[in-house]
Structure 1
Amino acid sequence: MVDRDSGIDAGATTATDSFVSHRNLLFTVAYEMLGSAADAEDVLQETWLRWSGVDHATVRDPRAFLVRVTTRQALTRLRTLRRRKESYVGPWLPEPLLIAPDVAEDVELAESVSMAMLLVLETLAPTERAVFVLREVFALDYDEIARAVDKTPPAVRQIAHRARAHVAARRPRERVSPAEARDVLAAFGRAVETGDLTGLLDMIAPDVVLLTDGGGVVRAAVEPVVGVADVTEVLVRLGGALLRPTLVNGHPALIVRRDGRIDTVVALRLDAGLITGLYAVRNPEKLSRMDRETAVGR
């Protein structure tokens, strides 16, 4: 139908509004499956092209349809990304995102987009990852997930059970409140800035792991740095940089600036009050969105 006064196709407007209203959800689905905002945006573009080409009168549930298309597009891209990661120089880390502070209040959503969780999801097979994200984060029913991943509902139940157990064995043993995480980050930042080795040793677990992603573009460790002594030695080198605490992927992190530009984003993994993981993203291609907030939702 065309609005005679405006000349605008009302059906096209409704379809556009529907896509826009679900955009944050669709981006989050794609990002949690891919760990890359750039690839998630490409998936959304492909989803929009598919959405704009269907007869919307035949779509009973736009949200379910859009999630299904996004999931299928992300699965296709995820398999391509896995081949790309095989030749990646050094550790591969997810692309960090500045996320609105209110996301941190949605504990489950914040945990699902955290660097630590995204790295756990990397250890799942593509279909397992899709099923886990759609079920555990977005609470889709098994029939809906089955249509998205081209499996039967009983098969999806089994995949979900297997993925849930896999993730549970690798996620932090206890959740840390946003307030406690901010306190740890503030103390960590002060210790790094001042070179306070004693302070660092008090808050870092003995078996801490530091992953540094330079992508072969900038200097970075090509192997994980393991153990409090070696990790602390790396951290004290940040003493001359400008450190700014912020929220990255819904959790406290540090932005490291040198010569006025973002040099590194350091996200922390906390477990039982200690820092057990440090994820330092230095690849400039992954820092391009750090100058603005990215909207996520479910």
Structure 2
Amino acid sequence: MRIAVPNKGRLHDPSVDLLERAGLHLESAADRKLYADTVDPEVTVLFARAADIPEYIWDGAAAVGITGRDQVVESGRDLVELVDLEFGRCRLVLAAPEGGEITEPADLAGGSVGTEFPEITRQYLEDEGIDADVVEVTGATELTPHVEMADAIVDITSTGTTLRMNRLAVIDEVLSSSVRLYAHPDHVDDPKVQQLVTAFESVLDATDKRYVMLNVPRDRLDDVREVIPGLDGPTVMDVAGDDTVAVHVVVDEQDVFEVVNDLKEIGASGILVTEIERLVE
């Protein structure tokens, strides 16, 4: 099975890190290399531009791929979304010069929109019933209204900082996006693809979770259950030769500070908190 992964940019490192955390360690993945083997002899990683990955999947060069939802929608390819990988979150927005005449989408009628996403923009204009020209550019989209190439833009934003720096105001949200795992419809049910889905989901499920281990007197066990109910209730094990039990449980990271203090108050000792690499529920 071949997995297409962004070869550079802000999506590359998180994608490779996810593969590593899922247990698919890359081998011989030197810079500028187009592919890499993994510890699984049946899985190979292909490195490609994020915008090209939908085509790689559709043409069969890769069974699955990691790329942004915006790239898949722009490609027009009918791929199957398998997992939202929960990074690379951004919005595709319609923006226009601050203090200008365009304050709502309808004001674009008869005007023009500069964008690197012409297909998404055309569909948006059609859906809104707006007759406007689409000016396709390959970079520096924010400049197009200021050099009179377009009246407004449709562009990606995460924090809005670049738009504000270029004195552009958001008029409407066109599309919300994040990085996701996609597959060709013919490969969705492949056993190896399903293994990959399980691996990725286990990594995501473990994010912001912590494994807590402790010892507590047996007669305080009900108090422990009230403090840390866990996924299906805490795991309890006898400690040999003692009226003490060992308790193991998974808790949300944000609750660890309060949980540890509550456990101390009910007599717990030997409390150990560790990170979780993967969690299969």
Higher Rg of the two aligned structures:
2
Structure whose residues are more often helix by fraction: 1
> Is the TM-score greater than 0.5?
no
- Give TM-score, length-normalised by structure 1: 0.21
User: Which of the pair is proportionally richer in strand?
Assistant: 2
TM (norm. structure 2) is 0.22
**Higher relative contact order, structure no. (Cα contacts within 8 Å, ≥ 6 residues apart):** 1
